[in-house]
């Protein structure tokens, strides 16, 4: 009887072929360890995760309207200094002169209301303007207790020199007049709302 020759089994160097694949094993390979999902999530880590839709902190300094207004007012008013120096007046005195250039004479109390200054604050300003020679205060012919504030000839003449100031400020701010007028109207509306709120609280 002839014997069948038995040859040694070839050994492959591919580790993936070392063992025969079972016919009932799943075809998909197992997920790598890096993708393993833990059974339970760390609740503390989840709770500390930042919320992308979190509301802004309303107590941040740069969120404050009052801060923006204060800085804008201080900065813009300071810009007037070099333009008012040739006239010899300060910015508060300039506001008084603006009101008097519109209409003069005015009752001192009325002038205080127009420029939004307390009478005790306005009086020293008028005293300095009198010394410069721009204004004069006289008693009303109707009531000697009422003081009228009027312009002198020098006060009227200096208006021509002041006419260049608004355009100079526009140039300094690099704004056109329409843009500045829109800003002014928004601020005036804010003033009305703030004064209304103050009246309701008083």
Give the CATH number, domain containing residue 99.
Answer: 1.10.10.10
Please report whether residue 132 resides in a domain.
yes
Question: How many residues does this entry show for the chain?
Answer: 202
Q: Cα–Cα distance between 57 and 11 in angstroms, integer? A: 70
Q: Cα–Cα distance between 190 and 66 in angstroms, integer? A: 11
Please report whether residue 182 resides in a domain.
no
Q: Cα–Cα distance between 163 and 153 in angstroms, integer? A: 17
Counting other chains too, the contacts that 147-153 makes at CB distance below 8 Å and 24 or more residues apart are 147/107, 147/108, 148/105, 148/106, 148/107, 148/108, 149/100, 149/104, 149/105, 149/106, 149/107, 149/108, 149/111, 150/100, 150/104, 150/105, 150/106, 151/100, 151/101, 151/104, 151/105
What's the pTM value of the predicted model, to 2 decimals?
0.71
Q: What is the number of domains present in the chain?
A: 1
Please report whether residue 10 resides in a domain.
no
Q: Whole domain around residue 147: which residue ranges?
A: 63-163
Q: What is the pLDDT of residue 9?
A: 53
Please report whether residue 77 resides in a domain.
yes
Please report whether residue 150 resides in a domain.
yes
Please report whether residue 170 resides in a domain.
no
The pLDDT profile of the chain, 202 residues, written as one tens digit per residue, is 445 555 455 544 554 445 445 445 455 455 555 555 555 555 555 555 555 577 889 999 999 999 999 999 999 999 999 999 999 999 999 999 999 999 999 999 999 999 999 999 999 999 999 999 999 999 888 888 888 999 999 999 999 999 999 999 999 999 999 999 999 999 999 999 999 999 999 8
Measured in degrees and rounded to the nearest 5, phi and psi for residue 106 equal -130, 150
CB 149 within 8 A of CB 117: no
Please report whether residue 50 resides in a domain.
no
Q: What is the pLDDT of residue 24?
A: 52
């Amino acid at each position: 009887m002839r014997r069948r020759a038995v040859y040694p089994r070839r050994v492959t160097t591919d580790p993936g072929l070392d063992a025969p694949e079972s016919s009932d094993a799943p075809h998909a390979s197992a997920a790598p360890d890096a993708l393993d999902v833990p059974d339970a999530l760390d609740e503390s880590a989840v709770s500390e995760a930042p919320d992308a839709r979190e509301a802004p902190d309303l107590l941040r300094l740069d969120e404050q309207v009052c801060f923006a207004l204060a800085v804008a007012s201080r900065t813009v008013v300071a810009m007037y200094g070099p333009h008012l120096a040739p006239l010899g007046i300060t910015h508060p005195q300039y506001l008084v002169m603006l009101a008097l250039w519109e209409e003069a004479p005015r009752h001192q109390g009325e002038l205080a209301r127009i420029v939004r200054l307390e009478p005790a604050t306005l009086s020293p300003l008028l005293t300095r303007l009198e010394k410069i020679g721009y204004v004069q205060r006289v008693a009303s012919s109707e009531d000697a207790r009422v003081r009228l504030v009027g312009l002198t000839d020098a006060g009227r003449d200096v208006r021509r020199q002041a006419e260049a100031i608004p355009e100079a400020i526009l140039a300094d701010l690099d704004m056109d007049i329409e843009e500045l007028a829109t800003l002014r109207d928004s601020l005036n509306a804010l003033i009305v709302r703030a004064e209304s709120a103050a009246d309701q609280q008083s």
